[in-house]
Amino acid sequence: MKRKCETCTHYKCFINKYCSPEWKTLISFHKTSMLYPAGATIFSAGDPIKGIFQIYSGKIKVVTIDGEKEQIIRLAKEEQLLGHRGFGKKMIYPVTAIALEDSEVTFIPVDVFYSAVKANSEFAFQMMLFYADELNAAEKRMKLTAGLKAKEKVIVALMTIIRAFGFSSNDNTLLEYTPTRKDIASIAGTTYETMIRALGSLEKSNIIVQEGKAIRVLDLAYLEKHCLLD
């Protein structure tokens, strides 16, 4: 499966926005795309870096794994990059990427990606800003959540999901995608049982409503006020 960067309608994609037409053609020639079913691993921590990934469709979680404990450190969707955390001297992926739903992901070989960065100054500049913003956000979240109570951690997790995936296009109070309760606990950095109690508390306060596996947000202002990530 191969899609051409020259005719792509993903206008927020860094390649589409910041690479020259000539480089889009070259990248199209070298890239490949694969379909990953929900639950499939795209790359694993410790794997040698062979390239970078761009999500064409679907939703991905990026995790660190310590024994049997999984910590979700990022949620990603279409038009976003994966695998960039491993670039450097060691050239191994320090994290694992797993499909949350059926996803199509494009792979660009590392030598082609490096050449594109060197040849397209605006692309390189925007990638630098992207790295810096993501690192700052990760550090702030790690420092913040360490001192939060369980309910506050779950609020941060809900806002992380909202900012990553937004609300349904047909219902502006229903999360566009609700991760499993286990994944919400992983985002929050707390236990499953503690997360369930925190969601129940938010529901009793009419902040959210749990509708089966889905979550509806009744008071977004409350979540924003108590998130403390900004």
| pLDDT tens digits along 161-189 | 999 999 999 999 999 999 999 999 999 98
Residues 134 and 201 placed together within one structural domain of the fold: no
pLDDT over 80 at 90, yes or no: no
Residues 134 and 184 placed together within one structural domain of the fold: no
Residue 224: the pLDDT is 93
Mean pLDDT over each residue of the chain, to the nearest integer: 90
| Lowest mean per-residue pLDDT among 1-15, 123-137, 149-163 | 1-15
pLDDT over 70 at 145, yes or no: no
Residue 173 is part of which domain span?
Answer: 148-227
Residues 75 and 101 placed together within one structural domain of the fold: yes
Domain end point (choices 95, 122, 144): 144
Domain count, the chain: 2
Domain end point (choices 86, 120, 144): 144
For the domain that residue 212 is a member of, what is the CATH number? Answer: 1.10.10.10
Domain end point (choices 115, 144, 173): 144
Residue 136: the pLDDT is 81
Strands 167-168 and 59-66: unpaired
pTM over 0.85: yes
Q: What percent of the chain has pLDDT over 70?
A: 95
Band (134; pLDDT cuts 50, 70, 90): confident
pLDDT over 80 at 77, yes or no: yes
Band (2; pLDDT cuts 50, 70, 90): low
Residues 133 and 157 placed together within one structural domain of the fold: no
